[in-house]
């Protein structure tokens, strides 16, 4: 099977469709979910018969853009691609009507389940408005904390998923825990103080990011405070969060994609999560992409698209374990059972 897997992966990487990206120009669209709430997304329809549409969920900063390398590879192979932003992210905030106030300015208690509902709504819209028959969600980093709440999808691809908020930012978690401990001595005002101090930390962090993304995409500068608040909503939603494996839909197959150069703390939690699932179901599959940092679609776009290509074709349906992908050497290695565990722990231990 190892030789077969290598053949499948390499075939996917090097025999992409010759369909032109320019012939399928993406559309910039909005899905309105209520007053002050829209989901901005880019969409390119499938050009290959019966090809599914990949619903690319966003990272914490923004969605992938369809003119970026990873999505372009998928479009060139004939797949439909929809790249979405959550309603609290800058692209969606900027898409509101001129005098429209974002809904989260008066309702800041947005949960990961609420964000998952936006993904479900967009998937339904793609089916109803664009006659898409098959939608495959693909998480990216932050949205990997949202994807466990999705329902009724046969397969979900988890690219560098945020399986743990604390593992993503250990320093912030230490700060949060120290504030929570202080609440013991001030049970009346302590929780409010904790909330205010954490929000100050979030807003300070996100202010610079809003300036950068607004300058890059010429967003309305008058919405800066709203965009900072939107990012703050995302930060609140993952406080203390970790994947709950007991609540994952049993009928959804998950294919994981980890970056070999991931930070040690997050990689350790990702590995622990995968191995816990693999212990229950040997049909769980993980691709580890070598020579890639956290954002695989940008660092290794051909590998990213090639893996999704395999998933779409059903060629991974009966595969389990770990497949290491080496883009530079155009090679793969397969690890199963105890070898998979040894390989993954060795990968984590190799980090400083």
Cβ atoms within 10 Å of 196's Cβ, excluding its own: 11
Residues 140 and 128: beta-carbon distance below 8 Å: no
Flag whether pLDDT at 283 surpasses 90: no
Gap between the Cα atoms of 240 and 249, Å rounded:
22
Cβ atoms within 10 Å of 141's Cβ, excluding its own: 22
Tens of pLDDT, residues 7-44: 344 444 444 444 445 557 889 999 999 999 999 999 99
Strand 80-84 versus strand 37-44 pairing type: antiparallel
- Give Cα separations from 218 to 36, 99, 136, 209 (angstroms): 20, 18, 31, 14
Mean pLDDT of the chain: 92
At residue 281 the predicted structure's pLDDT band, cuts being 50, 70 and 90, is: confident
Helix (H) or strand (E) holding 341: helix 337-349
| Residue 25: predicted pLDDT | 80
DSSP 168: H
User: Who's near 327: CB < 8 A, 6+ residues apart?
Assistant: 13, 289, 290, 291, 292, 300, 302, 303
Gap between the Cα atoms of 80 and 19, Å rounded:
12
Where helices occur in the chain by DSSP H, the ranges are: 2-14, 69-76, 90-94, 112-130, 165-168, 170-182, 190-217, 224-237, 264-280, 296-299, 301-312, 337-349
Token reading at 21: 């990206």
**Mean pLDDT of all residues in 244-249:** 94
- In the chain, where are the structural domains located? 2-164+242-349
Residue 47: burial class (beta carbons within 10 Å; 0-12, 13-18, 19+): middle
Flag whether pLDDT at 2 surpasses 80: no
User: Who's near 42: CB < 8 A, 6+ residues apart?
Assistant: 26, 27, 28, 29, 63, 65, 66, 81, 82, 83
Residues 84 and 41: beta-carbon distance below 8 Å: yes
Cβ atoms within 10 Å of 127's Cβ, excluding its own: 14
Tens of pLDDT, residues 252-273: 999 999 999 999 999 999 999 9
Tens of pLDDT, residues 97-147: 999 999 999 987 899 999 999 999 999 999 999 999 999 999 999 999 999
Residues 164 and 241: beta-carbon distance below 8 Å: yes
Gap between the Cα atoms of 21 and 274, Å rounded:
35
Q: For 2-164+242-349, CATH number?
A: 3.40.50.1820
Token reading at 189: 């005002």
Residues 161 and 270: beta-carbon distance below 8 Å: yes
Flag whether pLDDT at 153 surpasses 70: yes
Gap between the Cα atoms of 169 and 264, Å rounded:
11
Q: List residues bridging with 251 in a β-sheet.
A: none
Flag whether pLDDT at 71 surpasses 60: yes
Gap between the Cα atoms of 282 and 275, Å rounded:
10
Gap between the Cα atoms of 252 and 154, Å rounded:
5
User: Who's near 55: CB < 8 A, 6+ residues apart?
Assistant: 82, 84, 119, 122, 123, 126, 135, 136, 137, 138
């Amino acid at each position: 099977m190892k030789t077969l897997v290598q053949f499948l992966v390499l075939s996917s990487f090097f025999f992409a469709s010759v369909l032109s990206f320019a012939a399928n120009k993406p559309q910039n669209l909005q899905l309105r979910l209520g007053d002050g709430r829209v989901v901005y997304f880019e969409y390119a329809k499938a050009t290959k018969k019966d090809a599914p549409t990949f619903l690319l969920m966003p990272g914490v900063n923004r969605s992938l853009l369809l003119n970026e390398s990873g999505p372009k590879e998928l479009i060139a192979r004939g797949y439909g691609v929809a790249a979405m932003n959550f309603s609290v992210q800058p692209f969606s905030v900027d898409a509101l009507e001129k005098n429209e106030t974002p809904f989260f300015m008066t309702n800041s208690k947005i949960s990961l389940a609420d964000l998952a509902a936006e993904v479900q709504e967009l998937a339904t819209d793609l089916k109803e408005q664009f006659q898409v028959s098959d939608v495959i969600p693909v998480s990216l980093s932050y949205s990997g904390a949202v994807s466990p709440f999705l329902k009724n999808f046969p397969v979900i691809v988890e690219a560098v998923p945020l399986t743990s908020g604390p593992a993503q930012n250990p320093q912030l978690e230490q700060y949060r825990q120290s504030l929570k401990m202080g609440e013991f001595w001030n049970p009346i005002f302590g929780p409010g103080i904790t909330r205010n101090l954490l929000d100050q930390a979030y807003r300070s962090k996100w202010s610079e990011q809003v300036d950068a993304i607004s300058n890059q995409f010429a967003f309305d500068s008058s919405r800066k405070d709203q965009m900072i608040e939107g990012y703050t909503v995302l930060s609140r939603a993952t406080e203390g969060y970790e994947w709950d494996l007991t609540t994952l839909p049993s009928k959804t197959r998950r294919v994981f994609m980890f970056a070999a150069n991931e930070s040690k703390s997050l990689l350790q939690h990702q590995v622990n999560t995968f191995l816990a699932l693999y212990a229950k179901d040997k049909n769980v599959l993980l691709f580890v992409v070598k020579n890639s940092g956290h954002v695989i679609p940008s660092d290794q776009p051909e590998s990213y698209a090639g893996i999704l290509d395999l998933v779409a074709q059903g060629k991974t349906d009966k595969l389990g374990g770990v497949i290491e992908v080496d883009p530079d050497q155009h090679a793969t290695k397969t690890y199963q059972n105890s070898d998979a565990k040894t390989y993954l722990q060795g990968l984590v231990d190799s980090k400083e």
